[in-house]
Structure 1
Amino acid sequence: MVVTGLCFVAVTALVKTLAGRVPAAESAFLRYVFGLVFLLPAWRSLRDLRLTKRQWGLFTLRGAAQTLGVICWFYAMTRIPIAEVTAMNYLVPVFVTVLAVVFLGERLAGRRIGAIVVALLGAMLILRPGFRALDPGHFAMLGTATLFSVSYLIAKIVSGEMRASVVVALLSITVTIGLAPFAIAVWVTPSLADLAVLAGVACFATGGHYAMTLAFAAAPVTLTQPVTFLQLVWSVAIGALFFAEPVDPFVVAGGTVIVGAVVFITWREAVLKRRISPLGTEGKF
Structure 2
Amino acid sequence: MSAREKPNKPLVGILWMLATTACFVAVNIIVHWLGDQVPAAQSAFVRFLWGLIFFAPALARILRQSFPREVWALFGLRGLLHAVAVGLWFYAMSNIPIADVTAINYLNPIVVTVGGALLLGEGLAWRRITAVIVALLGALIILRPGMREIEPGHVAQLGAALFFGGAYLAAKKLTDYVPAGTVVAMMTLVVTVALAPVAIWQWQPISLSETLWLGAVAVFATGGHYCMTRAFAAAPVTVTQPVIFLQLVWAAIAGWTIFDEKPDPYVILGGAIIIASVSYMTWREAQLKRRVTPPAPATKI
CA spacing shift, 1:274–1:135, aligned 2, 3 Å: closer
Partner SS for 2:37? coil
Match of 1:272 in 2: 288
Match of 2:47 in 1: 31
Match of 2:75 in 1: 59
CA spacing shift, 1:272–1:10, aligned 2, 3 Å: same
Q: 1:96 Cα shift?
A: 0.2
The one-letter amino acid paired with 1:118 is: V
The answer to whether the aligner puts 1:144 opposite 2:160 as a matched pair is yes
The answer to whether the aligner puts 1:198 opposite 2:198 as a matched pair is no
The answer to whether the aligner puts 1:15 opposite 2:15 as a matched pair is no
The answer to whether the aligner puts 1:174 opposite 2:200 as a matched pair is no
Partner SS for 1:18? helix
Q: 1:38 Cα shift?
A: 1.8
Structure 1: which 5+ runs fail to align? 276-285
Q: 1:225 Cα shift?
A: 1.1
Match of 1:283 in 2: none
1:186-237 deviation per Cα after TM superposition (whole angstroms, max 9, x unaligned): 0011011111211111110111111111112222211111111010010000
Structure 2: which 5+ runs fail to align? 1-16, 292-301
Moved more, 32-41 or 51-60: 32-41
User: Among residues 95, 107, 124, which one is paired with 1:108 in the alignment?
Assistant: 124
How much identity, in percent, do the aligned residues show? 52
Give the Cα separation in 2 of the matches to 1:47 and 1:217: 29
Moved more, 128-137 or 36-45: 36-45
Q: 1:41 Cα shift?
A: 4.3
Partner SS for 2:95? coil
1:228-260 deviation per Cα after TM superposition (whole angstroms, max 9, x unaligned): 101001000000000000110000000000000
The one-letter amino acid paired with 2:50 is: F
Q: Is the 8 A contact 2:141 2:267 kept in 1?
A: yes
Give the Cα separation in 2 of the matches to 1:59 and 1:44: 16
Alignment of 1:1-285 (within 5 A): 1-43=17-59, 45-273=61-289
CA spacing shift, 1:33–1:274, aligned 2, 3 Å: closer
**TM superposition score normalised by structure 1:** 0.94
The one-letter amino acid paired with 2:107 is: L
Q: Is the 8 A contact 2:96 2:153 kept in 1?
A: yes
Give the Cα separation in 1 of the matches to 2:56 and 2:69: 25
The one-letter amino acid paired with 2:279 is: V
Match of 1:281 in 2: none
What number of residue pairs does the alignment pair up?
275
